Every structure is written in C-alpha cells, then in structure tokens.
C-alpha cells in the first residue's frame, strides 16, 4: 500500500466510522421516539 | 435550547472541516515518512478523545455507585459507547499507517496490545449492558468500568515504560522529542473538532438511553396492568 493510498484510506475510514455511528444513533432515536408516541396513544 | 444545539452542530462541522484543512494542507510534510504521516492528525486526536471519554465513563461509574442515579449511569453508557467508536478509529488508522511505514499491519508490542485490550474491555462493558438482565447490571458494569479504566494510563505509558515498535512519544517525551508548531496546531484543531463531535454524540446517546428507559418502564407498567386484569 502506497503512502497516498494509506492516507486517503485512513481519513475515509475515520469519516465512515464516525458518520456511520451518527446515522445508527439517529435511526435508533427515531424508532424510540415513534415507540414513545405509540405508547402515549395506547395509554 | 434547540437553536443552541444547532449552533453547536454548525461549529462542530466547521471545526471538522478546518481540522481536515490543517491536517492535509497547512501542516508541513514530514521528512522521513512523507504524506502518510498526516494520518497522525486523525490517529492521535482520536486516541486522546477516546481516553477522555473513558475518563468520563470512569467518573460517571463512580458517581453511579455512590448515588445510584440513572443520569450518571446513562452518561457512563453514552461515553463508553462513543469512546469505543473513537478507539475503533485508532485501531484501524494505526495499522493503515503502519503498513507503508513498518511494512507490517500489526505487531504485538506493548502499545498496540494494551490499546487492543482497552478496546476489548469497553466492548465487554457494552456487551454486558446489552445482554445482561436484572437489577445488578448497572452495578456490575460500573465496577467493570472502574477497573477497566486502569488500562488507560497503561496504554499512555506503554511507549515510555517499554521498548516498542510504536514510535516514542513526540509529545511530552522528554529531550529530543517535539513537534513543529504547525503540526501542533493541526493536532490540537483536530482534537478540538473530535471532542466537539464526541460531545454531540454523547448528548444524542444519553438522550436515547433515557428515552429507552422510559419506554421500558412504560412497557413494564402496561404488562403489570395487563397481568392484573
């Protein structure tokens, strides 16, 4: 692996991990919020 | 309150962009390694951010054992999970940097091994939180977090205590160590950006944890009401 490829790979991997985690959190957040709304409706 | 959070989101995005610019454009090219050394500007700030988050987890776990407050437990979970994310970045960017410089992806030296152990400790913590049932889960995980944190200073000191493949410390490493001021700026800007991002992620994860607790309590209440009929 050349230095330039390694540099690009490292920066891209960092962004993918950070943004991927943020997307995962937001999707979980939306799901729980929906669940809370359903519980409020049913109670 | 919402507008304050959005301003903070915008500041974080701006800092991440500025940090990227500092690391890729402003910082000078290192003489021995060349451009691949610029991985340093993401690798090191990610490690420092992970250490900071594990420290928050350590304090929150102590507070939980002392006060038994749900808030401190939620902070502990949130900081551990985000800390694992940043520690994962460290463990992946490290080998990507090592391959062109050392000729190998990985070696079992003190710094690398203790970092992997650190990651495994906090992954175990999260697995415990996810799969253990019962009222003692929070107490057990707090105890694991307190003892697990012992590995953080060991990781930090590993390159000072042992002869390792990993480079000697360039920051606070004594005589002959040090960084060009422009390189310092790139490290510190990226650390600030990653710390702001980590704070945002912890805030979202904390809120999520509290909401999940509310939902679980509501489900338990409904089950009790249903069972009572």
What pLDDT, in 10s, does the model give residues B32-63? 899 999 999 999 999 999 999 999 999 999 99
Give the per-residue pLDDT at A42.
79
Range of the domain at B61: 2-208
CB burial string B108-138: b at 16+ within 10 A, e below: eebbbbbbbebbebbeebeeebeeeeeeeeb
**Structure confidence at residue B173 as a pLDDT band (50, 70, 90):** low
Residue A16 in contact with partner chain B when CB distance is under 8 A: no
Chain B CB within 8 Å of residue A27 CB: no
Q: What is the pTM of this model?
A: 0.93
Q: Of B14 and B218, which is predicted with more confidence?
A: B14
Q: Does A24 touch chain B (CB under 8 A)?
A: no
Q: Is residue B27 part of a domain?
A: yes
Give the residue extent of every domain in chain A. 1-43
- Residue whose C-alpha is closest to residue B144's, from B163, B113, B120: B120
Q: What angle do CA B133, B136, B138 make, to 5 degrees?
A: 90
pLDDT confidence band for B220 (50 / 70 / 90): confident
Inter-chain touch A36–B85, beta carbons under 8 Å: no
Q: Note the pLDDT of residue B224.
A: 84
Tell me if B100 and A17 make a contact (CB, 8 A cut-off). Answer: no
Count: domains in chain B = 1
| Domain assignment present for B227 | no
Q: Is B165 on the interface with A (CB under 8 A)?
A: no
B175 pLDDT band, cuts 50/70/90, is low
């Amino acid at each position: 692996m050349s230095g330039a490829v390694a540099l690009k790979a490292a920066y891209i991997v960092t962004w993918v991990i950070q943004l991927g985690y943020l997307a995962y959190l937001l999707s979980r957040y939306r799901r729980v919020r929906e669940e809370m709304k359903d519980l409020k409706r049913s109670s | 309150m919402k507008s304050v959070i959005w301003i903070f989101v915008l500041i974080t995005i701006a800092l991440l962009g500025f940090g990227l610019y500092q690391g890729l454009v402003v910082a000078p090219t290192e003489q021995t390694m060349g451009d691949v050394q610029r991985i340093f500007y993401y690798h090191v700030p990610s490690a420092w951010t992970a250490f900071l988050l594990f420290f928050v987890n350590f304090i929150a776990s102590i507070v939980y054992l002392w006060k038994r407050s749900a808030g401190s437990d939620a902070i502990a979970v949130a900081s551990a999970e985000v800390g694992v994310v940043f520690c994962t970045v460290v463990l992946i960017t490290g080998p990507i940097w090592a391959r062109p410089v050392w000729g190998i992806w990985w070696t079992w030296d003190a710094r690398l091994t203790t970092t992997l152990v650190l990651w495994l400790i906090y992954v175990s913590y999260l697995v415990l939180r996810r799969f253990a049932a019962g009222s003692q889960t929070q107490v057990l995980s707090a105890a694991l977090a307190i003892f697990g944190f012992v590995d953080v200073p060991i990781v930090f000191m590993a390159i000072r205590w042992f002869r390792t493949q990993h480079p000697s410390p360039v920051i606070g490493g004594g005589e002959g160590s040090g960084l060009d001021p422009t390189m310092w700026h790139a490290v510190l800007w990226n650390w600030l950006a990653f710390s702001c991002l980590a704070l945002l992620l912890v805030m979202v994860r904390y809120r999520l944890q509290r909401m999940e607790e509310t939902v679980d309590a509501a489900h338990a209440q409904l089950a009790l009401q249903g069972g009572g009929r």
